[in-house]
Amino acid sequence: MFKAILARFKQGYKTGKFPLKGEPKLPDNFMGRPEIAADAGEADAKIAASACPTGAISCENGKLCLDMGKCIFCGKCASVCPKIKFTKDWRLAAFRREDLIIHAGDKNPFDNPNETTVQLTPPKEIVKLYKNSLKLREVSAGGCAACELDFNVLGTLAWDMGRFGINVMASPRHADGILVTGPVSKNMALALEKTHAAMPEPNVTIACGACAISGGIYAESPETAPEVMEKFKPDLYIPGCPPHPATTLDALLRLIGKL
């Protein structure tokens, strides 16, 4: 026992300062919240859409739009259309599906909280219920394991989401919410529905990653069952492919009113 205590003293404090102090350490090639020039129009949308593998680019009222719920952050659109730029901002999650759509000229809602229609906070009843403790059951509904692995990182010493009262449960009967990854394959549809039904009321549903939100690159596959997630009506959407741990932790802390 004394050897274990001594080893911990030698190891020191390993948990990162984010989000309590400072910003997260992001890789050099990290692609965060997109920015679209105000003058990006229909011609630009056609060029960008031709490079997008998931149909995340569209045109609305003559303006280019990018749906982060479909985006896999590959950067191909920005490589062919200079009016699209991916910033280093990790704050991507939204509480409403429509808030994941970025229009030409939109400002970052986190930089301009008083000038945005984006809902930056969850309903008060959710914060009241889960501000001290949020127990989640994670379900991989046919994913490639990237989202699952980056979510699991949050349980390690470096991130330690448990210090905020957020933990992963082995049983949905002990969970406050379900975090879904993957496009919901037909083989996983029933299992996901049973898991969701096993949770006590009230509960929250979190769609984590492009696949869970929109189907991602599997959106057109006949082997997926997107109607399952539509029926659940998620309370939180975390875009990415996969979402960076900083993105997910920021989203969960906003969900329980810690940020």
Tens-digit pLDDT profile for residues 190-239: 999 999 999 999 999 999 999 999 999 999 999 999 999 999 999 999 99
34-115 placed in CATH 3.30.70.3270? yes
Contact 213, 100 (CB under 8 A): yes
Quote the pTM value.
0.94
Nearest to 149, CA basis, from 141, 137, 140: 140
Mean pLDDT on 17-29 = 91
- pLDDT value of residue 202: 95
* Cα–Cα distance for residue pair 220/183, rounded to 1 Å: 10
- pLDDT value of residue 6: 80
Provide the token pair at 208. 């984590």
Q: What one-character DSSP code corresponds to residue 23?
A: -
Domain 124-255 class? alpha beta
Q: Where are the domains of the chain?
A: 34-115, 124-255
| Residue 242, preceding peptide bond in cis (omega within 30° of 0) | yes
Confidence of residue 110 (pLDDT cuts 50, 70, 90): very high
Chain centre distance of CA 155: 16
Q: What one-character DSSP code corresponds to residue 108?
A: P
Contact 84, 32 (CB under 8 A): no
- pLDDT value of residue 206: 98
The alpha helices in the chain, defined as continuous H runs, are: 2-11, 42-51, 76-80, 124-130, 146-152, 186-198, 210-214, 227-232, 245-255
Calculate Rg over the CA atoms of the chain: 19
Phi, psi of 30 (to 5 degrees): -65, 135
- pLDDT value of residue 63: 96
Q: Is residue 259 predicted with pLDDT exceeding 90?
A: no
Contact 148, 180 (CB under 8 A): no
